[in-house]
Structure formats: structure tokens, C-alpha cells
Amino acid sequence: MTELAGARPLSNKWVVLALMLAIALLNYGDRYLLAGLAQPIKLEFGMSDGFMGLLMGPAFALLYSLVAVPIAIHADRTSKVAIICAGCVMWSLFTVLSGLATSAGVLALARVGVGIGEAAFQAPAYALLAAYFLPEQRGKAYAVMGMAVYFGQLLGYVGGPAIAARGTWHDAFEVLGGIGIAIGVLAWLILREPPRPALPTTKVHEPLWPQFQQLWAAPSFRWMSLGMALGTLSGVSFGMWGPALFERAYGLSTQQASGTFGLAFGLPGLLGMLVFGFAVDHLARRDRRWLLRLAAGALFSATALILLVTWMPSIVAARWLAVPSGLLGGGWSVGIFTALQYVLPDRSRVTGTALAMLVINLLGYVTGPFIAGQLSDMVMGEGAYGLRVALSLVIPLGFVGAALMWLAGHSLEQDRARLA
């Protein structure tokens, strides 16, 4: 990578990747911390599954999804590094405030603040890595950063309850938030903004709506966005409610259920993420459509497996099925993000990613956990029955998402040429 004359030296790309992994770990760890501690939080504040689903979904993800777009536009025009670091400090501060909450309403407001802060991370981070890594290296880079999903799950499912067991659930939020503030400041001191390509002045400030219309008219962008949205809705609903399901279905404590769920799915997921990252870089050299074919096949298989896990009669059977579930479900998003960065033009890579994430997050994060919680309250029943039925209605949407991902591959190359 070249440097501009007189500019500060660029950071080492592996240092950039390591810091993005650390920040992403905190990003996901905070989300799954709420899931890992769902039962004690519910008991303290007297919440229903429906209200807990509101905290897991809309309270966090609605503004997260909407605010991400204007933040991404700003990042395309200014500094991705500054926005990422400021967002990390902001969401970590609100994570601390989540731990200080004295009522369900205060906790909900704190989660809104967390969502606004986290909106500054994902799209700028993927675009920053795209600037530092060559196209044939991005699959591996995104796979490494994608490991944060599973490290974050372990942090939320295992680390959080372990801290809470030595004090209260409040302590877990305060510790995680304090670490996040420190990491955000450290990243600001180390990371350097890469030079942006010279573009015609007519291209620099394109209005948002025409950009979205142009991107949405490209079939690969449209089907990737909708396919990943439905895959996310399926997987996140299961991931957010999984610890509560294990606790109710198998008579485990909060710490046992969260730890068992996190380790059973998280460790295979880490391995699946790495294998997928290397596979897509290898196969995509011959045909970029393999990015989406692999993603579709992995999502379809993982969806079938987590649907089976939901109804397993014993914890032993559930843990055995978690291994192939994690391996197959661990990396499919890498194929989507790599294909997305491939098809998007340089001038609007952050904005385009954010527009795709708007669709993905509104369907996946906002509606998934919330709908599952509402359905669980409607069905009710003894033990885990209501939650099992709710998840059985939501999880199969992953099959539709896989079909749309496969469809997106048909026009990938044509859309790249059209959007250039």
C-alpha cells in the first residue's frame, strides 16, 4: 500500500486487523452479555419474555440500524478510524450505564445508547480492512474479524455469568464497558487513516436515495442483503434465546446454561469461521460466485441443525448437534461480506455496506429476538415449550435466506461492472 507524500506512516495491516478484532469482540460481547444474563435480569426487574425480547431487539437495534447510514456517509467523507474509535468509547460508556440501571426502563434507555454507539463500527470497519488488504486477502481478514462473533459469544455467555456469579449481573456490564473505553482510546492512538482514492468531484457527494436506488436495482446487492437479513434473523433469534432455552429445558443454572451454550456453539463456530475464510479466498480466485454458493450451503445446513437442537430431549444430544451447527454456521457471513465489498465501488463502500446492513439489521436484529419473545409469551406452556415453538416458527426463515444468497451469485460480475 502506498502512502501520501508528507502523510503519517500507515499502521501495519495486521495491527489494524488485531485492533478491529478486539473492538468487534467487545461489540458482540456486549450484545450476548444481555442474552447470557437474561434470566437474572428478568427476575430482578420482573420482565416478561416479550419485554426481554424488546431489549435484545428493537431497543438496541432500531436506532443502531437507522443511525448507521448517516454515520457511514460521514465515514466515507472523513475518517473511518476516528468514527470507529469514538463509537467504541460511546457504546462502552453506555454499557457501564447498563450495569448501573435501577429499573427496566433505565436499562432500555441505556441499550438505546449502546445501539447508537455500535452503529459507528461495522460498515467503517469492513471498509477500513478493504483499504488495507488486497482483494485476494480479504476473505481471510474478514474471517479473522468474524471470529469476534464467537469470542463475543463466549465473553457474553461464559465471562459475563462468571463475573455475575462473584457479584451481580450489574458488575459484568460495568467491567466490559470499562475495558471497551480503554480499547477505544488505545486504537485512536495507534491506527492511521489510509489515503482515499482520488475521485471526480461529481462522485464524492452523491445523494443517499439515488445511491440506494442504484444499489437496490443490482440483483446481487438486493438478494445478498435480503438473504443475509433472513439468515441473521434466524441465527440471532436462536443465539439470543439459546441460553434461556437451555436453562428452562435442561434444568441448568444461569451460569451453567450460558457457559454450556456458549462453548458448545462458540468453539466449533470459531473453527468454521477460519476454515470458511480460507476456502472462499481459494475458490473465489476461480469464480467469485463461490463466495455466495458456499454461504448459501452453509446457512441452509446450519438452519436445519439448530432447528433440531431446539427440540433435543437431552443436553447431551443438544451438545453433539452443536458441533456441526457451529462449524457450518460459523462462516457463512464471510462469503456475504467479501462479495459485498467486491461488488461495491470504492467511492461509496462504507455507505453501500451501511445500506445493506440497514436491511440486514432491521429484519435480523430488530425483529428476530423480539418476535421470538412475543411468540413465546403467546404460546406459553410448561418449561421450555413456548420458547421452543417460538423458535421453530422463526428459525426456518434461514432456508429462504440461503436460497436468496444462491440467487445473488448469478449476477455478481455483471453488477460489479454496472456499479463501477
Residue 396 has pLDDT above 70, yes or no: yes
What pLDDT is recorded for position 202? Answer: 45
| pLDDT level of residue 283 (50, 70, 90 thresholds) | confident
Q: What confidence tens digit (pLDDT) does each residue in 30-68 have?
A: 888 888 888 889 889 988 888 888 887 777 778 788 888
Output the pTM of the full model: 0.75
Q: Which residue has the cell 435501577?
A: 102
Q: Which domains does the chain carry?
A: 13-192+208-419 (1.20.1250.20)
What pLDDT is recorded for position 380? Answer: 72
What pLDDT is recorded for position 49? Answer: 84
pLDDT averaged over the chain? 86
Residue 197 has pLDDT above 80, yes or no: no
Q: Phi and psi for 197 in degrees, rounded to 5? A: -65, 145
What pLDDT is recorded for position 322? Answer: 92
Secondary structure of residue 141 in the 3-state scheme: helix
Could you give the percent of the chain with pLDDT greater than 90?
A: 38
Q: What confidence tens digit (pLDDT) does each residue in 323-367 have?
A: 999 888 878 888 888 888 888 887 777 778 888 888 888 888 888
Is there a contact between 160 and 99 (Cβ–Cβ < 8 Å)?
Answer: no
Q: Mapped to the 3 state alphabet, what secondary structure does the chain carry?
A: CCCCCCCCCCCCHHHHHHHHHHHHHHHHHHHHHHHHCHHHHHHHHCCCHHHHHHHHCHHHHHHHHHHHHHHHHHHHHCCHHHHHHHHHHHHHHHHHHHHCCCCHHHHHHHHHHHHHHHCCCHHHHHHHHHHHCCHHHHHHHHHHHHHHHHHHHHHHHHHHHHHHHCCCHHHHHHHHHHHHHHHHHHHHHHCCCCCCCCCCHHHHCCCHHHHHHHHHCCHHHHHHHHHHHHHHHHHHHHHHHHHHHHHHHHCCCHHHHHHHHHHHHHHHHHHHHHHHHHHHHHHHCCCCHHHHHHHHHHHHHHHHHHHHHHCCCCHHHHHHHHHHHHHHHCCHHHHHHHHHHHHCCHHHHHHHHHHHHHHHHHHHHHHHHHHHHHHHHHHCCCCCHHHHHHHHHHCCHHHHHHHHHHHHHHHHHHHHHHHC
Least confident of 34-38, 246-250, 269-273, 378-382: 378-382
Q: Which residue has the cell 443454572?
A: 253
- C-alpha distances (whole Å) from 384 to each of 56, 260, 388 are 19, 17, 6
Least confident of 166-170, 315-319, 416-420: 416-420
Residue with more model confidence, 396 or 209: 396
d(CA 115, CA 127) in angstroms, rounded, equals 20
For the segment 58-80, the average pLDDT, to the nearest whole number, is 81
How far apart, in Å, do the first and last CA atoms of the chain sit? 21
For the segment 107-134, the average pLDDT, to the nearest whole number, is 88
Residue with more model confidence, 168 or 258: 168
Q: What confidence tens digit (pLDDT) does each residue in 221-237 have?
A: 999 999 999 999 999 89
Secondary structure of residue 11 in the 3-state scheme: coil
Residue 199 has pLDDT above 70, yes or no: no
For the segment 306-314, the average pLDDT, to the nearest whole number, is 95
Residue 170 has pLDDT above 80, yes or no: yes
Query: Quick one: cell of 344?
Result: 461495491
| pLDDT level of residue 147 (50, 70, 90 thresholds) | confident
What pLDDT is recorded for position 2? Answer: 40
| pLDDT level of residue 103 (50, 70, 90 thresholds) | very high
Residue 1 has pLDDT above 70, yes or no: no
Residue 20 has pLDDT above 50, yes or no: yes
- C-alpha distances (whole Å) from 334 to each of 63, 298, 341 are 25, 11, 11
